[in-house]
Chain A
């Protein structure tokens, strides 16, 4: 039997919310109400945090899709199965540093009021966050994505350099003045890439939602901001995937495009509510280009497909090319391309 203080109990409940076990509404009162931060946590509390992270992250990733029987690359070979079948469980461990505890303590203690600026988490000493730390901060972002806290964290705080958050919530980065530079390299190898594999379905859904929201945007400035950041994030992700030989991790883009583009799709679906009166044609063209930022990734995907068709059995990257070809078929990308061409034509003059 372990006993914890009120602060530690709140911290654990907030952690469970971040790991998807409790709705955000249940813990928001704890987050906004200031609580005196203790100098450290008790041994019992730390043990419970460790246990929650150990079991909670596994449950969270399994819920996302780690259990799917999928094909992904491992050491230039195609491996089929669930995540723990593609990679031995012993190699799936996530490290969480003291920064994770510090972050949780900050969130629990912080005071959130309408009268004062929102507090921003900044570790006392500069610290290099582990993949586990990044995943925790990302999970917090997802849990709190409908709150004003998130916007502030994107503008100034820990999410600016969080590549997962940039990939999952690019719209929120659109508001940031100083453009973040997400580093996708750590997410192309080891446990980082395993996390990306597990959350493919969620990523696809996030991008579909983001694209559908464009049809409700009224201001051209908003469309421009969102389109620009989408372009930026996807280009960096694609570049990292191509450089690391992990273009299989771009599956979610093909899934999203397959869902968005059909015979019923029309260019005006993306710009239905946009007020372009008074704009020159040149400005309208630019705005429409930003509206179609995700659709235009089909050009790069098509070039990858063409490239992969020329890779022979004994050539480097054969396994990657095989996966790309099978992803192309699974997501009916030939049809998607046809619809994408039609929609981009409709969005041009």
Chain B
């Protein structure tokens, strides 16, 4: 009489999962002064806000997020990435018609393969969760970042206007309203 033997396997899968997301946008910088001077003003303003200059770009890292601004093209790239090592373990039971021998070995092997597939599915799910986390976080940061960059551009533009005005003539009056962002310059030509 044949009997079915209960077999059990346990496996673990260890992987480094990685999630990354990024967007790019463009700063709208007016050509009030020549491009290289505008780039320098932009860089100064961003350095004041915690960016570090490296040649033709400035960058700042906030935790998992890195913001890079290409001063020549005005391209802003915001990138968020995170790695995490995950270990998933599991056990699986099955049956075999032999308790030893090649058939038992094959049954265990198949059971182990099935278990590994399931565990890898878990890893994939964790990767998707991590990805969603990164994407949601990046999206939540964008509004504030846009505001900050707009302010930086406005300040750089104001500075450029002052320099341009000084080139055109003598500045008689300069009024700046930080709340509204308006700038009034009276020059004598």
Contacts and interface: CB of A to CB of B under 8 A. Distances in A.
Contacts of A280: 20-21, 131, 135
A163 B138 CA distance: 43
A279 to B, nearest CB: 8
B131 A281 contact: no
Interface in A234-287: 278, 280-282, 285
Contacts of A282: 21-23
Interface residues of B, number: 13
B166 to A, nearest CB: 29
A348 interface: yes
B37 interface: no
A285 B24 contact: yes
Contacts of B139: 281, 349
A225 B128 CA distance: 25
Contacts of A281: 21-23, 135, 138-139
Nearest to B28: A341
B35 interface: no
B83 to A, nearest CB: 16
B81 to A, nearest CB: 11
Interface string B75-100: 00000000000000000000000000
B159 to A, nearest CB: 25
A281 B128 CA distance: 14
Contacts of A349: 23, 25, 139, 142
A281 B138 CA distance: 8
A278 B142 CA distance: 18
B141 to A, nearest CB: 10
Contacts of B25: 348-349
A282 B139 CA distance: 11
Nearest to A279: B135
A282 B21 CA distance: 6
A348 B142 CA distance: 11
B146 to A, nearest CB: 8
Interface in B107-129: 128
Contacts of B142: 349
A260 B8 CA distance: 65
A280 B128 CA distance: 10
Nearest to B25: A348
Contacts of B138: 281
A280 B139 CA distance: 10
Given A278-B128, A280-B21, A349-B142, 5 more contacts: A281-B139, A348-B23, A348-B25, A349-B23, A349-B25
Interface of B: 20-25, 128, 131-132, 135, 138-139, 142
13 contacts: A278-B128, A278-B132, A280-B21, A280-B131, A280-B135, A281-B22, A281-B23, A281-B135, A281-B138, A282-B22, A282-B23, A285-B23, A349-B142
